[in-house]
Amino acid sequence: MTAASVRFFGGPLDGRVQELGDGEPVCGTVMRHVHLHDGPKIETHYELGYTAEAGWEYRLCGLADPDEIVQP
């Protein structure tokens, strides 16, 4: 995994790997994911973190303050 990639842990995105994008990643950033397929709306939140061993990771977290949520 490169420094420009992030892996998701938990929730409907568990195991997904994607590019972080052009912006500078910031530890603690919370991303909201809304799942609408085949049923009711399910909203989950992932917090961005970094470790030297694993690189960038989004971990499932509790509900965030709406002012802290960024869209991917």
Q: Going residue by residue through the chain (72 aa), what tens digit of pLDDT does each one get?
A: 445 799 999 988 999 999 988 788 899 999 999 988 788 888 899 999 999 998 999 999 976 455 555 555
CA distance 66 to 15: 25
Q: What is the pLDDT of residue 10?
A: 93
Q: What is the pLDDT of residue 50?
A: 94
In total, how many domains does the chain have?
1
Q: What is the pLDDT of residue 65?
A: 53
> What domain range includes position 53?
5-70
Residue closest to 56 by CA, chosen among 47, 64, 65: 47
Task: Give the predicted TM-score (pTM) of the model.
Answer: 0.74
Q: What is the pLDDT of residue 22?
A: 79
